[in-house]
């Protein structure tokens, strides 16, 4: 039985062009999880990507013929221009039905350019975390909010990946008829662990951090907490800096920096870990949380952003607040008094119930179909956040 309305079934072969200014970290995970679903539904020839050349290999299992790259040297005006040029060239060559933009800089640069064209694809924008929700100065905050509110008019649909992101948009004044809540999901099939994690033997609690070494992700808070708990924690950090610079100096002896690893190597680290820590200062969603839950690992996180929607305090992990070193230390101590295996199993059960990528794909597909059919019947449903995630676990 079709999951889509009968009148839409003939339009399932949607041509989608995904564009991102950077994908390292969460956006790469998002695209990698979504790609097999979209390719199976739309056909390989109908799914294409524009990404930085130095991040091309972050897209796994996607053929070179499906990817257009652009050169950039960090985040700069020149790099943004290269993204714009590559995107417009791909637009003319690929002629997509939908242009799906990921994160703030792609949205900032490409939405005005697309609005200036008399004819073009439907524009779907996913901020993956609002720029105005981050720690910035007051003027930067106001400028980001004003830009997003103005540019919302040039978006056919804005995808919010969490209830928190949806609510932030509403508070900022972005029209609700532009917004659709589509929770992130990942495949229920876990990649096979591969790599040297079997050497992670320790009498201390084995703690894993996965993410960018940038201020947003709170890795600096983790390092200071680890320094204070050197006698009970053995911490491994997977990732590297993308926005901020971090040279790895002055980390305590119980912290190991592993750099970026591929998916199977990360799964090996997850397999060996006792718990996963996500000390983000702000987080639009947190795909790492789903990856941890899929591996049946409990999570320690701050009560910030969308993480309280995912982690059930005292049931699948521990939430602490406010965002600072001492609450994180207290959170670790509380966590170590709990049965980590029981918390991890509960997290796995919750993952299976709520976070299947097939559900994410079905909802995005329906957005595409509605836009292409000019079907407005679903708008009222999108305004009301009727999410099963709000129900008690």
List the CATH number of the domain containing 33.
Answer: 3.40.50.2000
Please give the structure tokens belonging to residue 88: 């417009």
What is the number of structural domains in the chain? 2
Q: Is residue 192 part of a domain?
A: no
Q: How far apart are CA 368 and CA 350, in angstroms?
A: 28
Say yes or no: 100 and 247 in one domain: no
Q: Is residue 1 part of a domain?
A: no
Say yes or no: 173 and 213 in one domain: no
Q: Is residue 200 part of a domain?
A: no
Say yes or no: 228 and 215 in one domain: yes
> Which residues have C-beta within 8 Å of that of residue 73, sequence separation ≥ 6?
79
Tens of pLDDT, residue by residue over 358-382, are 999 999 999 999 999 874 444 344 4
CA nearest to 34, candidates 249, 228, 183, 144: 183
Tens of pLDDT, residue by residue over 218-274, are 999 999 999 999 999 999 999 887 655 665 558 999 999 999 888 889 999 999 999
Q: Is residue 194 part of a domain?
A: no
Say yes or no: 367 and 313 in one domain: no
Q: How far apart are CA 107 and CA 129, in angstroms?
A: 12
Q: What is the pLDDT of residue 250?
A: 81
> Which residues have C-beta within 8 Å of that of residue 99, sequence separation ≥ 6?
16, 17, 19, 87, 91, 110, 114, 120, 121, 122, 123, 124
Say yes or no: 113 and 136 in one domain: yes
Q: What is the pLDDT of residue 369?
A: 95
CA nearest to 132, candidates 173, 161, 101: 173
Q: What is the pLDDT of residue 180?
A: 97
Q: How far apart are CA 15 and CA 28, in angstroms?
A: 20
Q: What is the pLDDT of residue 91?
A: 97
Say yes or no: 227 and 363 in one domain: no
Say yes or no: 67 and 165 in one domain: yes
Say yes or no: 324 and 365 in one domain: no
Please give the structure tokens belonging to residue 186: 């990942």
Q: Is residue 199 part of a domain?
A: no
Please give the structure tokens belonging to residue 80: 């943004």
Instruction: Kindly write down the DSSP assignment for every residue of 100-164, as one continuous string.
Output: EEESHHHHHHHHHHHHTSSS--EEEEE-SS-GGGSS--HHHHHHHHHHHHHHGGG-SEEEESSHH
Say yes or no: 312 and 275 in one domain: yes
β-strand pairing of 233-238 with 299-302? unpaired
Q: What is the pLDDT of residue 198?
A: 63
Q: Is residue 30 part of a domain?
A: yes
Q: Is residue 197 part of a domain?
A: no
Say yes or no: 344 and 211 in one domain: yes
Which residues in the chain land under pLDDT 70? Answer: 1-12, 135-136, 195-198, 242-249, 375-393
CA dihedral 71, 74, 80, 83 (to 10 degrees): 30
Parent domain of 384? 6-187+356-390
> Which residues have C-beta within 8 Å of that of residue 303, sequence separation ≥ 6?
313, 319, 320, 321
The Cβ-side half-sphere exposure at 56, using a 13 Å CA radius, reads 14
Say yes or no: 336 and 379 in one domain: no
Place of tokens 């804005």: 158
Q: Which helix (H) or strand (E) holds 290?
A: helix 287-294
**pTM of the complete model beyond 0.85:** no
Q: How far apart are CA 283 and CA 278, in angstroms?
A: 9
Asked if 315 contacts 392 with a C-beta cutoff of 8 angstroms, the reply is no
Measured in degrees and rounded to the nearest 5, phi and psi for residue 208 equal: -115, 135
Say yes or no: 155 and 256 in one domain: no
Q: Is residue 160 part of a domain?
A: yes
């Amino acid at each position: 039985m079709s999951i889509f309305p009968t009148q839409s079934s003939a339009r399932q072969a949607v041509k989608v062009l995904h564009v991102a200014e950077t994908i390292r970290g969460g956006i790469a995970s998002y695209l990698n999880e979504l790609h097999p679903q979209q390719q199976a539904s739309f056909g390989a020839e109908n799914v294409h990507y524009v990404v930085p050349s130095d991040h091309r290999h972050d897209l796994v299992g996607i053929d070179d013929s499906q990817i257009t790259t652009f050169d950039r040297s960090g985040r700069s005006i020149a790099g943004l221009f290269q993204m714009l040029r590559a995107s417009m060239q791909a637009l003319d060559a690929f002629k997509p039905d939908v242009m799906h933009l990921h994160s703030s800089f792609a949205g900032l640069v490409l939405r005005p350019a697309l609005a200036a064209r008399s004819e073009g694809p439907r524009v779907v924008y996913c901020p993956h975390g609002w720029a105005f929700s981050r720690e910035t100065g007051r003027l930067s905050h106001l400028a980001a909010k004003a830009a997003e509110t103005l540019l919302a008019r040039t978006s056919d649909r804005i995808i919010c990946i969490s209830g928190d992101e949806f609510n932030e948009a509403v508070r900022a004044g972005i029209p609700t008829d532009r917004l659709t809540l589509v929770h992130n999901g990942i495949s229920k099939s876990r990649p096979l662990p591969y790599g040297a994690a079997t050497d992670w033997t320790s009498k201390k609690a084995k703690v894993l951090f996965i993410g960018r070494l940038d201020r947003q992700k709170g890795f600096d808070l983790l390092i200071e907490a680890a320094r204070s708990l050197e006698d009970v924690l053995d911490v491994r950090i997977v990732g590297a800096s993308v926005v901020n610079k971090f040279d790895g100096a002055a980390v305590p002896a119980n912290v190991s920096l592993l750099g970026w690893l591929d998916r199977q190597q990360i799964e090996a680290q997850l397999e060996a870990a006792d718990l996963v820590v996500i000390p983000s200062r702000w987080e639009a969603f947190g795909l790492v949380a789903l990856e941890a839950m899929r591996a049946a690992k409990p999570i320690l996180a701050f009560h910030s952003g969308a993480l309280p929607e995912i982690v059930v305090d005292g049931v699948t992990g521990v939430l602490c607040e406010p965002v600072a070193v001492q609450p994180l230390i207290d959170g670790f101590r509380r966590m170590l008094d709990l049965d980590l295996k029981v918390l991890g199993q509960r997290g796995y059960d919750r993952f299976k119930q709520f976070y299947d990528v097939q559900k994410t794909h079905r909802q995005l597909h329906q957005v595409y179909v509605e836009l292409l059919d000019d079907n407005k019947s679903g708008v009222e449903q999108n305004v009301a956040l009727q999410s099963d995630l709000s129900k008690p676990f």
